Chains A and B, each alone.
Chain A
Amino acid sequence: MSRLGELLDRGDELIITGEAPVIDGGTLADYEAKLQELAPWCDAMNATDNTAAHAHASNVAMAIAMQRVGVEPILQVVCRDKNRIAQQADIMGAALHGVENICCLTGDDVTAGDESEARRVFDLDGPQLIRLANSLKEGRYLSGRSVGTPPPLVIGAVENAGTHPLDYRAQRAAKKILAGARFLQLQICYHPDRLEGFVKALHENGFAEKCAILPSVVAVKGAGPLKFMHNSVPGIDVPADVISRVADAETPAEEAYQLVLEQCQHALSLPGVRGLHLTDFRKDGSMARLCNDLGIKPRTEREQHAHDRIVAV
């Protein structure tokens, strides 16, 4: 079983996932180098699926590449570019290479990308895709045809706790959990109160025990990327005081670091939160500093520690 699957089964240890950088042209060695900043801290990393509707090396290809360089992948599957037949083929194809973790998303619209004239697909939606993955895990395609040996999939999803309808987002997350999501990577949220309300609702209703809630943080170097997210990424609202806090600071890069550190501390303090999903746009060694400041050990050390604990029991 995947490391992520084991962690979910064990049920109490911290889980750190990361957003792997995308790659376009290049070699496996180039890709391996790109992964190094974040990989040592992560239990598994997302092989994204044409993120923000921009074409890149495919999710399946990146997931297989990750396996080959010793990083555990989470195959992200979105509904924008492919119909249900192709989605099933991708999941089964990746599983053939040992990729077990998958994360089901509706996906950004084509208008978010640089080829807005493309046809959007959305044959399925996010919750249906989770259910579809569950069928594959149980050994059959949507048609009912057997897949042969069922792949031991570890199925997850995403949710945005920070956007409208705010009071409904936890119910939507619950729907995904009931459909079979065992981990939930949240969209980055710059409203701590919204994140709190969302996690509280899931925790108090017993859903956080069934599913690992992983709030996202995005490490940036200054106010520019915050403004970009606010203005150009639908579903992300960055309050003006957060932007000015970084923009007007003496050293914006340091202030942006402090901001992300506080977001991590806040998220981890919430009962029901199992870990974090990290995205690094700084690429300046900040991930090591961040994990150090949070007292998070590299994956290998955490693995060793868990092993010792299990042996001791």
Chain B
Amino acid sequence: MGLISAIEHVIKKPIWDCKMCGQCVLHDTGMTCPMTCPKTLRNGPCGGVREDGHCEVKPEMRCVWVKAEERSRTLPLMPEAWREHFNNLRPPVDNRLKGDSSWKNAMSGRDKETPPGWTPEPEAPAAEVEVEA
């Protein structure tokens, strides 16, 4: 692990339980790390969320995505764009980046690279679907 990765790990591990995937999406997911979901889902909650909002796999833990969804709406001081990105289709994880510093990869743009066969993400439905509470 390089120096930058080590610093990133020391800061992000205690706050977000960061798993060092090397391609951070925290800002788009309500500042909640999707890699802490036991299924490592990057695009929203699975269908197994329990009636109490807890995780299918770990019943003692609140579903990471229930938390993320709530925080993407309610966290103060978050730029509007970050909230809007919540519904974006996030591409498959590049497993080669595991352990790398996501800061470094964000600066170089490496974390935005997708496989050549991956089609650009379709428009996010955020603003389009209004659900009555």
Contacts and interface: CB of A to CB of B under 8 A. Distances in A.
Interface in B73-100: 87, 89-93, 95
B66 interface: yes
A200 B132 CA distance: 9
Contacts of A160: 47-49
Contacts of A201: 129-132
A145 B38 contact: no
Contact of A205 (B43, B45, B92, B130): B130
A171 B131 contact: yes
Contacts of B44: 127, 168, 172, 175
A143 interface: yes
Interface string A169-202: 0111011011100000001000000000110111
Interface in A149-168: 158-160, 163-165, 167-168
Given A106-B47, A127-B43, A165-B66, A235 B92 contact: no
A282 B51 CA distance: 26
Contacts of B51: 163-164, 237
Count class of interface residues, chain A: 35 or more
B129 to A, nearest CB: 5
Q: Please classify how large the interface on chain B is, using the bins under 10, 10 to 19, 20 to 34, 35 or more.
A: 35 or more
Contact of B48 (A109, A125, A170, A198): A109
Contacts of A80: 39
B133 A167 contact: yes
B20 interface: no
Given A125-B41, A131-B118, A141-B117, A178 B133 contact: no
Nearest first, the 5 A-B pairs at minimum CB distance are A144-B116, A160-B47, A174-B125, A234-B56, A234-B48
Interface of B: 38-51, 53, 56-57, 63, 65-66, 69-70, 87, 89-93, 95, 115-119, 122-126, 128-133
27 contacts: A106-B46, A106-B47, A109-B39, A109-B56, A111-B56, A120-B38, A123-B93, A125-B42, A128-B91, A131-B119, A142-B92, A143-B116, A143-B117, A144-B116, A163-B47, A164-B45, A164-B49, A164-B66, A165-B69, A167-B133, A171-B87, A171-B126, A174-B128, A175-B124, A175-B125, A179-B122, A234-B49
